[in-house]
Amino acid sequence: MEKKNLRIVFMGTPEFAVGSLQRLVENGYNVVAVVTQPDKPVGRHASVLRPSPVKEYALAHGLPVLQPLKMKDEHFLEELRSYNADLQVVVAFRMLPEVVWAMPRFGTFNVHAALLPDYRGAAPINWAVINGETLTGVTTFFLDHDIDTGRIIAQRQFPIPDDADVEYVYDGLMQLGAQLCTHTVDLVLSTDGNAPSQPQQESDAHHAAPKIFKETCAIDFSLTAKRIYDFVRGLSPAPGAWCLLTPRDANAPAQVLKIYKTAKTHESSAGGALVSSAPDHNAAKTGESSVGVEVGTLKAENRRLFVAAVDEWLEIVELQPAGKKRMAARDYLNGFQHPEHFLLK
């Protein structure tokens, strides 16, 4: 079968999905329709409807767009059937019912931003960085009844540098996922719909990647500096890790402080290099770090801002005070007097 004869319905919503849709369109694959989320109300009074990035791309390229509120809606299902798709491609979309994913004769495959079965769930990129992984990747797999459990078609690896944040990994996986997307479509074409696939190997050692909420993003300074460092970059630039800038004077209110970038120092509070960065587990119980000060303590030296983790000092490089823009810590210190009078909690 030639690719111009393979009728594809594409399903996706965010910018991450646009990479795969764009590659399909620009390389001459026959995308007959696009399914995406309904326009999202935005603005102070939610009076403006914002289309998804996938919808914007689809309309700009003359592709029909379907935006069902419910995936089992009969009108939507009837319209979807009318496109007579041979294959459905899903990238960063909602969970599909069987009546949808089983509709095409060649099935439905998903592009997932992780090396399945590791990091099943809604936020695999964030959690891979948060957990300090040095390697991630993308997977294509056929959809089945459960979330991210279907038979694996293909995978590609992507290294995560120690200084990479989510934005870097997101951009890299978007491009790698697009490449794997067309590769998988080519496999479907070359096998007349019988692309080889393998069942996922189940293990208790695999990580989950659940949806991230505001409370998920709160920084715990009783962790090691390395874990805080990974946590911050795993949420940067969005949604952003946060903490409370808390005056030691209990009568003063705390303020939310977002932290976007940190740097490891490997230094104790005395300024010397630590012989070992192993955490002091007793310190976490007492609220005192192994550098000899209370966890969350702030200090400023040479226009640089540091916070005490449970094992060593961590430099805060970029942050955002409540009601202000993101800024370098050195600029923040211009108007922030006596950091030793505050704790980060």
CA 154 to chain centre: 21
Q: Which of 158, 190, 222 lies at the terminal end of a domain, its last residue?
A: 190
The pTM for the full model equals 0.91
197 belongs to a structural domain:
no
pLDDT by residue for the chain (345 residues), tens digit each? 889 999 999 999 999 999 999 999 999 999 999 999 999 988 777 778 999 999 999 999 999 999 999 999 999 999 999 999 999 999 999 999 999 999 999 999 999 999 999 999 999 999 999 999 999 999 999 999 999 999 999 999 999 999 999 999 999 999 999 999 999 999 999 999 999 999 999 888 799 999 999 999 999 999 999 999 999 999 999 999 999 999 998 778 999 999 999 999 987 643 433 333 334 444 444 455 555 689 999 999 999 999 999 999 999 999 999 999 999 999 999 999 889 999 999
Q: Are 137 and 180 in contact (CB under 8 A)?
A: no
Could you tell me if 31 and 170 lie in one domain?
A: yes
Same domain, 313 and 174: no
310 with 185, same domain: the answer is no
255 within a domain of the structure (yes/no): yes
List the structure tokens of 59: 């309309």
Q: Which domain holds residue 76?
A: 3-190
**Element spanning 75, H or E:** helix 74-82
Please tell me whether residues 175 and 220 are part of one structural domain.
Answer: no
Q: Is the domain of 36 the same as that of 179?
A: yes
The CATH number of residue 318's host domain is 3.10.25.10
Does residue 86 sit in the same domain as residue 15?
Answer: yes
Residue type, 11: M
Residue 131 exposed, middle or buried by CB count within 10 Å (0-12, 13-18, 19+): middle
* Count of domains observed in the chain: 2
Query: What are the pLDDT digits (tens) for 64-106?
Result: 999 999 999 999 999 999 999 999 999 999 999 999 999 999 9
Give 250-296 as a DSSP string: TTSPPEEEEEEEEEE--B-TTSPBPS-----HHHHHHTB-TTSSBTT
Say which residues have a Cβ less than 8 Å from residue 268's Cβ, sequence separation at least 6.
274, 291, 292, 312, 313
Q: Which residue has the tokens 């209990």?
A: 250
218 and 177 part of one domain: no
The answer to whether residues 176 and 233 belong to one domain is no
The answer to whether position 114 is within a domain reads yes
- CA–CA separation, 154 and 176 (whole Å): 12
